[in-house]
Structure 1
Amino acid sequence: MKQEFTITVYTENQIGLLNRIAIIFTRRKINIDSLNTSPTEVDTVHRFTIVINETEDVVRKLCRQIEKQVEVLKAYYNTNDEIIWQEMALYKVPTDVIAEKAKVERLLRERGARVVAIRQDYTVFETSGHREEIEGLIKALEQYSLIEFVRTARIAIIKDSKGFHAKLKEFESEQPAEELVENEFLNQQDKVFSM
């Protein structure tokens, strides 16, 4: 049965990787509902957050395929219950409507919206939340001459995760990088020669 999954991909920051990952979805005729890329807490590691509507079997195979890319460190998939997620939205509304109607101001306050910019002809508000909350505010503002709306892609954190930084350190301690192994070998040779 299809359901919404969030795929989190940890990668090196390389040119062309986004295109190669997108091709994996295109070849399988899978629509990406949301895509966000951002740096992580580790300087050299980036995170892709991809939202799709598919079966778990297909998502599992997708993650395995994504992990075959050289620059990909790890790919995880989660249901909405297993993550904490948000989206952000901007709404542009005529300033005169807000000034004249106390209902609009009350509505925005109730929804946790904050003012980002005020111009003579329009005011821009920002809010964050789940898609349903954001779309609910769109419907409410349409009756007050909503001029424009834009929403970001999903950002998400896995609930039961130590974080990728901790996993990366754990992996490196179990399987040291080639430079560390090479240094250990050189140190052992130095000891032999110094005897």
Structure 2
Amino acid sequence: MENKWFTISVYSENNVGLLNRISGIFLKRHINIESLNVSKSEIDDVSKFTIVAHTTEKWVHNIVGQIEKQIEVIKAFYHTDDETIYQESALFKIASGLLFDERQIQNIIKDNNAQIVTVSRDFFVIAKSGRRNEIDDMHDELKPYGIMQFVRSGRISVTKDVMDISAILKEF
């Protein structure tokens, strides 16, 4: 089996220590978590973990099974990139002088459908949402001009197919 990108969605109660136990499941198998996001879900009092890993389907199937054994976990799913709609967000902090002195910076912002979120005397901040490769490409374009700070979010995703977690919860 070949390695592919998988997005794992975990619906759970929001309890202390669950993230540590979930990351331990990956650690035990020597599989790196490439991206992690935790937020509230469409269901009151239920959190959604979105985890991205590059592994085989056999391993991701086993990992999801282990995650579901955690007492706080309601349900866990895994999907390939083709089965989801996903994005990441990034912020780039750049020296303010470059915004006015380097015309190419404005072109990079425009060409990448990014936006300036704040401007101060010393720096400005650009926000970019999109796929990982789009953010990487913009990073590569801005790097020669000097990036003061850079941060990227974890993946957020929804499935293309209906995933009626509310109906699953009613079964419990």
| Normalised TM-score (structure 2) | 0.95
Aligned to 2:69: 68
Confirm whether residue 143 of structure 1 aligns to residue 153 of structure 2: no
The equivalent residue for 1:50 is: 51
Bigger Rg over Cα: 1
Between Structure 1 and Structure 2, how many residues are aligned? 171
Question: Which letter maps to 1:56?
Answer: E
Q: Which runs of 5+ in 2 are unaligned?
A: none
- Are positions 1:114 and 2:118 aligned together? no
Deviation, 1:114, is 1.1
What is aligned with 2:94?
93
Residue matched to 2:128: 127
Poorly superposed stretches of 4+, deviation over 4 Å: none
Q: Residue deviations 1:35-94, cap 9 Å, x none?
A: 111101111110011111111011101111110111101110010000000000000111
Superposition deviation, residue 163 in structure 1: 3.5
Greater percentage in helix: 1
Give the structure with the larger strand fraction: 2
1:149-160 pair list within 5 angstroms? 149-160=150-161
TM-score, reference length from structure 1: 0.84
Provide the residue aligned with 1:184 in structure 2: none
**What's 2:35 paired with?**
34
Q: Distance in 1 between matches of 2:167 and 2:88?
A: 26
**Structure 1: how far apart are the matches of 2:36 and 2:140?**
24
Unaligned runs of 5+ in 1: 173-195
Residue 102 (structure 1) shift? 2.0
What amino acid is aligned across from residue 148 of structure 1 in structure 2?
Q
Classify the secondary structure of the residue corresponding to 2:127.
strand
